[in-house]
Amino acid sequence: VQLVESGGGLVQPGGSLRLSCAASGFIFSDYPMNWVRQAPGKGLEWVSYISTSGSTTHHADSVTGRLTISRDNAKNSLYLQMNSLKAEDTAVYYCVRDTYLAGDYWGQGTLVTVSS
Amino acid sequence: DIQMTQSPSSLSASVGDRVTITCRASQGIRNYLVWYQQKPGKVPKLLIYAASTLQSGVPSRFSGSGSGTDFTLTISSLQPEDVATYYCQKFNSAPFTFGGGTKVEIK
Q: What is the pLDDT of residues B13-23, one digit of tens each?
A: 999 999 999 99
pLDDT in tens, A64-81: 999 999 999 999 999 999
B96 residue type, one letter: F
The answer to whether residues A19 and A114 touch, using CB atoms and an 8 Å cutoff, is no
Give burial (CB, 10 Å; 0-12/13-18/19+) of B2: middle
The model's confidence at residue A47, banded by pLDDT at 50, 70 and 90, is very high
Which helix (DSSP H) or strand (DSSP E) does residue A73 occupy? Answer: none
| SS3 state of residue B57 | coil
Would you say the C-alpha torsion B98, B80, B65, B18 has a positive or negative sign? negative
Residues of A in contact with B49 (CB under 8 A): 99, 101-102, 104
User: B31 CA to chain A: closest CA distance, Å?
Assistant: 10
pLDDT in tens, B61-73: 999 999 999 999 9
The model's confidence at residue A60, banded by pLDDT at 50, 70 and 90, is very high
HSE, CB side, 13 Å, CA atoms: give it for residue B61: 14
Return d(Cα A31, Cα B50) in angstroms, integer.
18
Task: Tell me if chain A has a CB within 8 Å of the CB of B44.
Answer: yes
